[in-house]
């Protein structure tokens, strides 16, 4: 969880009818959940509701030969409660980086978390 809190961009992965999909998203931690925003009528916005997903965050220092990766497995669901959306909207770190309107707030409830460090992280 500490490494997840150090980053702001990750990748959401899930299986769709067209095959595996992977999208970069900026995100925030909210308790033990990951929150990101999506456009409601895109593949990401329509295909992940109530789906099992994987979420990956990493950091690599190619010069010094070290890095880490954290993978979360969980359940994605759209946040429909207006009070919850208002609370998240008020956070300064909840604004999407991608252009366009992204009114859909998606929560990934973390079911399993794993990670790997490569090389020394103290260099």
**For residues 78 and 38, what is the distance between their CA atoms, to the nearest angstrom?**
10
Query: What CATH number should be reported for the domain holding residue 43?
Result: 2.30.110.10
39 within some domain: yes
* Contacts of range 88-92, beta carbons closer than 8 Å, 24 or more positions apart: 88/30, 88/35, 91/28
**For residues 25 and 96, what is the distance between their CA atoms, to the nearest angstrom?**
8
Taking the model in full, what pTM does it have?
0.86
Strands 9-16 and 51-61: antiparallel
**For residues 33 and 59, what is the distance between their CA atoms, to the nearest angstrom?**
20
Domain count, the chain: 1
pLDDT tens readout for residues 49-70: 778 999 999 999 889 889 999 9
Beta bridge partners of 10: 25
Print the domain residue range for 46: 2-118
pLDDT at 27: 94
């Amino acid at each position: 969880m500490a490494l997840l809190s150090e980053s702001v961009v990750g990748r959401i992965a899930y299986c769709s009818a067209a095959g595996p999909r992977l999208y970069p998203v900026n995100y925030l931690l909210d308790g033990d959940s990951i929150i990101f925003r999506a456009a409601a009528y895109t593949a990401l916005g329509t295909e992940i509701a109530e789906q099992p997903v994987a979420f990956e965050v990493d950091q690599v220092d190619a010069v010094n030969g070290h890095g880490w990766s954290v993978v979360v497995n969980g359940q994605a669901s759209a946040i429909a409660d207006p009070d919850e959306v208002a609370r998240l909207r008020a956070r300064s770190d909840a604004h999407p980086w991608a252009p366009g309107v992204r009114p859909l707030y998606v929560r990934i409830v973390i079911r399993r978390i794993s990670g790997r460090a490569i090389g020394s992280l103290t260099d």
